[in-house]
Amino acid sequence: MNVSGILPLEKPAGMTSHDCVLRARRWLNTREIGHTGTLDPDVTGVLPLCVGRATKLVPILMEGPKAYEGKIALGSATTTEDTGGEVLDRKAVQDAIPDEELEWAFASLVGELRQVPPMYSAVKVNGKRLYEYARAGETVERPVRTVTVHAFNRTGDTAWSADRDHLLIPFSVACSKGTYVRTLAVEIGRHLGYPAHLSMLRRTMSAGIGQNACMSISEMDGRSEEGRVEDLLLPVEYVLRDYLHYEVSDRELEKIKNGAVLPASTYPRSERLVFTKESQALAIYKPHPRKQGMIKPDVMLRVDEGH
């Protein structure tokens, strides 16, 4: 039997996203596994892994919004914009920041923003990743990207770090694909007049999966020893639940199984339409880029399973 579905994993600190994929390959005894968006090694939280035919959904799921919780440290800036870098600038925070200033700073970063990726990031420029230039002590012009911050809020009172060198601000953020939360932390500091960096980050939602649905590495190791890992896989329909669905007839099924281009007017209008049979997702269609009024397959899912 082919293993397929979404494994909702909680990534711990100290592991790369690829490390998690390698571990999952052993748990499920398959190489056909992909993740839906890299998390830095120090970042924890939701890391959905697509298994089997669900790997076809990786590009779509990576496009979706993400949510995070973390802490911003006011008082110093670093080369990496987080705790892993060398200190570039310091400015002591003498007093607590008034609530109204904090609220203004967070509100000013909600909406569509233009971000420059940090030098210590995986963005490629001229075939090399930015962190490779940074490690070599080189600088290069970085591409500006447009991202959207849907919500950005302080989630509690500020507090001094144990050494009182930094004022820590807890926050939550919901944002589009490609948003650098590290850079948002730096921007908050700039608005408040202090160098800043990201001191802690946890992803709380990705691909429509929340942290409450996720399993830890240790829990997965235990399930693997019991031979019960497959029971934890979410069906592909779970991560497609917010898309428009259309239940097909037997006649339509044959066309979809063959990847036919279909007239858009026959079906509900949607940027992505999930065709189902007996509530199981068969394929995802989208508007044809060249043939006006037609839709074409974007992802083919269960069409080869004898429906």
**Does the annotation mark 157 as catalytic?**
no
Write the DSSP string, 147-214.
Answer: EEEEEEEE-S--EE-TTSS-EEEEEEEEE-TT--HHHHHHHHHHHHTS-EEEEEEEEEEETTEEGGG-
Tell me the torsion sign for CA atoms 168, 194, 102, 144. Answer: negative
Pick the catalytic residue: 19, 40, 99, 242?
40
- Whole-angstrom distance, CA of residue 275 vs CA of residue 296: 12
Helix axes 217-226, 17-28, angle to 10 degrees: 10
Nearest Cα to Cα of residue 51 among 30, 27, 26, 23:
30
**DSSP state, residue 267:** S
- Alpha-carbon distance of 269 to 171, in angstroms, equals 37
Residue 95, CB-side half-sphere exposure with 13 Å CA sphere: 4
**Measured between alpha carbons, how far is 306 from 45 in angstroms, rounded to an integer?**
37
What amino acid positions are annotated as catalytic residues? 40
